[in-house]
A and B are shown apart, each in its own frame.
Chain A
Amino acid sequence: MSRFSGAVITECMSSRPVRLVCCIAITGLIGSGGAAQDQQQARFTILDRPTLTFMGDVGLIDMPSADSMADADVTATAMYANNILRTVIQFQVTPRISGIFRYAVLNDFLPGSGTLYDRSFDIRYRFLDETRHRPAFAIGLRDFGGTGVYGSEYIVATKGVGDRLRVSAGIGWGRLGSYGGFSNPLGILADGFKTRATSGNNAGELDFGEWFRGDAAFFGGVEWRATDRFTFKFEYSSDAYDREADPMGFTHKSPFNAAVSYRFDNGIDLSAAYLYGSEIGVMLNYTFNPKTPRIPDGIDDGGPSVVPRDVAAARSWGLDLSDDGASPASRASMQARLAQQLEAEGVILKSFRIEGSRVIVHIRNDRYDAPTQAIGRTARALTSVLPPQVETFVIVPIVASMPVSAITIQRSDLEELALDLDGSWKSYARADIAEGSPYRLRREDYVPGAYPDMRARFGGYLVPSFFDPDSPIRIEVGAELAAAYTPRPGIVFSGAMRQPIAGNLDDATRTSNSVLPHVRTDIVEYEKESELEVSYLTGEYFFRPGDNLYGRVSVGMLERMYGGISAEVLWKPVEGPLALGGEFNYVRQRDYDVLFDFRDYEVATGHLSAYYDFSNGFLGQVDAGRYLAGDWGATFSLDREFANGVKIGGFFTLTDVSFDDFGEGSFDKGFRFIVPLSWLTGEPSQRGFGQTIRPVLRDGGARLSVRNRLYEITRRLHDPELKERWGRFWR
């Protein structure tokens, strides 16, 4: 059994819990169509987007093609045929590379009418594009790291004939070489290619030793896009279904399959197929693109507008031009008006200082997923409050009271560029984005009530769990109370309690069979024995040890399963792709009731980390060190992050635990995604839904899940992230 990590990922200690309610109310409006909608139906034409196979990848019916989805498209698929249910997620990782995670339930597959729950990963690379005279070519691996039920490899070519017909032909190995197979042509390279181990490699082991081995076979078919709605497909399949047909009681009578798909405007395709001359299959696909949320720039008021310094405008804003802000009283008045304006924007003003023609403000963004929106609104609000002689705005966004960067903006640039066609890029180019450490918070500049600071949030939570064979989807919902108290900058006492209200997580019965210390696999015990739980309860200290350096020390109940001490230091320049960090933790396993007791397992764990931002939306990370079970190794991650905050990625961990000791899956791996709530609803929010999905959760390669790791909380206020989202500066 595996389990997601927590559901709600981004801490939102907003004092405005009502926002979620607003979001739900607005979501309820989805589907209330309008004239604009009618005019936009050309968006999803069948010619733009290929259809999927019953395996969940792009192609014919069971056979793949060389076509690709649009860059970044995500498709969720559910299909049913002959006692097999598959749910599949496909992600077009780059224009050429696509990846798939598939969860299949094969009833009666195992001896004694047992059900097989099979998790598999695919990858495909389109290595040649279609031209006028040449088809597109792709090479792919199905189920390259799972139990091998779908293990197969292929090379396929696809060519359009006219506007509505596409023809595919390919050669397959493994399952795709099991019908009409012939001796592997790769055998001329080496004899080893001629044979393939029949089945049963160790689950999860990367079994590249068998790739492209054994018999090969040809497959092919056609796809006819009869109308913008209907697509008909016909194929010759090289999959003999040897492994399912016998135990699952169906007959493979024919290699010919036929299918029809109907496309709706909302990203849904429905398909039906006649398979193997004996079975009927049905499939539903839903496709969306992370780059295009429903509401392009969200629903929110216009925010402050730039107020020019001329007298007429200033008068209507109640600005006293004779006031130069020099006296304490006028400074206090400006500060109060600014704080009030910013609070309406969800931005908390922490300090305010005028030095001649320059103002320095420290702000905390409590509302916007895009920091640039908070920075832009602050800059515009300043134009309506400050006397004309203040020309330079230094805006210092803080996170955990640390000044993370300092954005210097000239007021005359704001006035000049507010309505400029290219105002976004020009204003980014003219802004100075600098290291924040010279701008430490100073007590004499605090706005009244800046510290101590108390925030609390009451809301709901949802924790799903997948792949328990007894119940492939489990879920728990409940109420959560979280609070944070900051007596002075950098010191935070915070905690969260959760009370489950409904769900079946605690009905799980699978107990751990791990031979390693049960650092994660006792999850079922935690679910069963916890009721009202203390999810975390910590004291944290955040500090800036020097330029480009960030520090964190956390003590207490660090996460649901571990308590102890965690210390981290991060080197991260305000711009540049590379960051380096180190973390050391000494932790003890918490009791199953998730309250204040501990079990007797203690471990020193920690990692050295390297982070690299490839600047094309891809983030790479390597964490090397000692894991919770005392095993040594490294985790490799690659995520694609869209400017709007949606993030999809994958990771794997190799440690000195042997594949046998690790158990099912051989090593830790999975994929993860984060979707900001604002992407879903259009409402500004810092919350979001994040899931880490592991085919199997085991004890090897398990990392402590401490909150507020420094890279994640700082990087959004640095370049290139600020540059990528600068479009929101003027929003």
Chain B
Amino acid sequence: MSRRRISPGLAVLATLALAGCAPAPGKGLFKRQPDPTAGIPEPTSGRYLALQQVQAPALQVVVEDRSQRDLMLFSHRLDGVELWYGRDGVQVGLRDGMLAYTRGIGGDLMAADTRQSHALLASGQSGTAKRFHSYLNGNDQIETDSYICDIRRVQDFTLAIGEARVPTWYMVETCHGPDLIFENYYWVDRRSGVIQQSRQLANPFSGRVAFQRVLS
């Protein structure tokens, strides 16, 4: 994954994604790329190279606003969170498929508590959940924001991941915070409750990041 492009002043935003109709579940960010590593620069992170050598599990990642893509590699698990490394040393952390941590994408998500949302998603239930995000702001201060989220199971959907066909629930989470409204989208494996694909807000600055597991 590549680093943050610069865009004008931020701090507060009114709306990131207006709540409304969820996009069709098949509008995939991963479909257009037959070769997931095409056009991505060579790795510079020593850790990434080491993980490549041991053929660590991979995760396709797209920072949507910038159309920046990477095949991130699984490094290790810390306190229940999977840490994935990008080729330039950028990291994301997923707790049960929910984004809990970013480092190096700009306006980083320092930590997140998404347990309530995950409980609903993993069981395919609609409902309301609270989630909490900590960001590092431009004045080196941590800002913790709370969001109230409506989670809806929109439809069943057969997700194509490579050659595999995975039966999923397509679920939408609409969150309202003090100065931000955003939507996250999840494709939850109906058999296991595992989030196989998702589009989640990383932070107000970098916007949404899309993830898809690479099935081995």
| 8 Å CB interface, B102-120 against A | 103-104, 106-108, 110-113
Q: What per-residue 1/0 map shows which CB atoms of B124-143 lie under 8 Å from chain A?
A: 00000000101111111110
Quick check: A302 and B137 within 8 Å, CB to CB?
A: no
Known contacts A725-B140, A731-B136, A295 near B79 by CB under 8 Å:
no
- What residues of A have a CB within 8 angstroms of the CB of B8 in the complex? 37, 40, 43, 265-267, 294
Instruction: Please measure, in the bound complex, the distance between the C-alpha atom of A289 and the C-alpha atom of B137, giving whole angstroms.
Output: 13
Counting chain B residues whose Cβ lies within 8 A of the other chain, the interface size class is 35 or more
Known contacts A418-B79, A421-B111, A682-B4, A43 near B9 by CB under 8 Å:
yes
Quick check: A295 and B6 within 8 Å, CB to CB?
A: yes
B21 within 8 A of A: no
| 8 Å CB interface, A30-52 against B | 30, 32-37, 39-40, 42-44
Quick check: B78 and A418 within 8 Å, CB to CB?
A: yes
Q: What per-residue 1/0 map shows which CB atoms of A295-327 lie under 8 Å from chain B?
A: 111111111011110001100110000000000
**Considering only CB atoms, which chain A residue lies closest to B17 in the complex?**
A39
Q: Which of A29, A292, A415, A731 contacts B139 (CB 8 A)?
A: A292
A486 within 8 A of B: no
Instruction: Please measure, in the bound complex, the distance between the C-alpha atom of A381 and the C-alpha atom of B8, giving whole angstroms.
Output: 33
Q: Which of A299, A301, A370, A421 contacts B140 (CB 8 A)?
A: A370
Quick check: A642 and B139 within 8 Å, CB to CB?
A: yes
A469 within 8 A of B: no
Instruction: Please measure, in the bound complex, the distance between the C-alpha atom of A288 and the C-alpha atom of B139, giving whole angstroms.
Output: 14
- What residues of A have a CB within 8 angstroms of the CB of B77 in the complex? 308, 312-313
Quick check: A292 and B7 within 8 Å, CB to CB?
A: no
Number of A-B contacts (CB under 8 A): 201
Q: Which of A27, A292, A300, A725 contacts B6 (CB 8 A)?
A: A27
How far, in Å, is A130 (CB) from chain B's closest CB?
Answer: 22
**Considering only CB atoms, which chain B residue lies closest to A32 in the complex?**
B5
Instruction: Please measure, in the bound complex, the distance between the C-alpha atom of A296 and the C-alpha atom of B136, giving whole angstroms.
Output: 7
B64 within 8 A of A: yes
From A194-202, A422-430, A433-441, A503-511, the one touching the partner chain is A422-430
- What residues of B have a CB within 8 angstroms of the CB of A302 in the complex? 85-86, 89-91, 103-104
**Considering only CB atoms, which chain A residue lies closest to B80 in the complex?**
A419
Instruction: Please measure, in the bound complex, the distance between the C-alpha atom of A265 and the C-alpha atom of B7, giving whole angstroms.
Output: 12
- What residues of A have a CB within 8 angstroms of the CB of B64 in the complex? 35
- What residues of A have a CB within 8 angstroms of the CB of B37 in the complex? none
| 8 Å CB interface, A11-42 against B | 26-27, 29-30, 32-37, 39-40, 42
A291 within 8 A of B: yes
Quick check: B136 and A297 within 8 Å, CB to CB?
A: yes
- What residues of B have a CB within 8 angstroms of the CB of A724 in the complex? 140
Known contacts A43-B12, A415-B79, A419-B79, A36 near B7 by CB under 8 Å:
yes
How far, in Å, is B117 (CB) from chain A's closest CB?
Answer: 14
**Considering only CB atoms, which chain B residue lies closest to A414 in the complex?**
B78
Quick check: B142 and A425 within 8 Å, CB to CB?
A: yes
| 8 Å CB interface, B127-180 against A | 132, 134-142, 144
**Considering only CB atoms, which chain B residue lies closest to A340 in the complex?**
B46
B38 within 8 A of A: no
Instruction: Please measure, in the bound complex, the distance between the C-alpha atom of A275 and the C-alpha atom of B5, giving whole angstroms.
Output: 43
- Interface of chain A: mostly helix, strand, loop or mixed: loop
Quick check: A419 and B78 within 8 Å, CB to CB?
A: yes
B101 within 8 A of A: yes
A670 within 8 A of B: no
Among A37, A642, A724, which residue has the most Cβ atoms of chain B within 10 A?
A37
Quick check: A305 and B91 within 8 Å, CB to CB?
A: yes
Q: What per-residue 1/0 map shows which CB atoms of A228-271 lie under 8 Å from chain B?
A: 00000000000000000000000000000000000001110000
Quick check: A30 and B6 within 8 Å, CB to CB?
A: yes
A643 within 8 A of B: yes
Quick check: B144 and A422 within 8 Å, CB to CB?
A: yes
B100 within 8 A of A: yes
- What residues of B have a CB within 8 angstroms of the CB of A44 in the complex? 9
| 8 Å CB interface, B3-40 against A | 3-17
**Considering only CB atoms, which chain B residue lies closest to A730 in the complex?**
B110
Task: Please list the residues of chain A having a beta carbon within 8 angstroms of any beta carbon in chain B.
Answer: 26-27, 29-30, 32-37, 39-40, 42-44, 265-267, 288-289, 291-303, 305-308, 312-313, 316-317, 344, 370, 372, 415-416, 418-425, 642-644, 682, 724-725, 727-728, 730-731
Q: List 23 A-B contacts (CB under 8 A).
A: A27-B6, A39-B13, A42-B14, A267-B8, A267-B9, A292-B9, A295-B6, A295-B107, A296-B108, A297-B138, A299-B106, A301-B90, A301-B104, A305-B75, A305-B103, A308-B76, A312-B77, A416-B79, A419-B78, A424-B134, A643-B141, A644-B139, A727-B141
Please give 20 more A-B residue pairs, beta carbons under 8 A apart, in addition to A30-B6, A34-B7, A420-B111: A39-B14, A39-B17, A43-B8, A265-B8, A288-B9, A292-B11, A296-B137, A297-B140, A301-B90, A301-B104, A316-B51, A316-B56, A317-B76, A419-B93, A421-B134, A423-B110, A727-B136, A727-B142, A728-B136, A731-B103
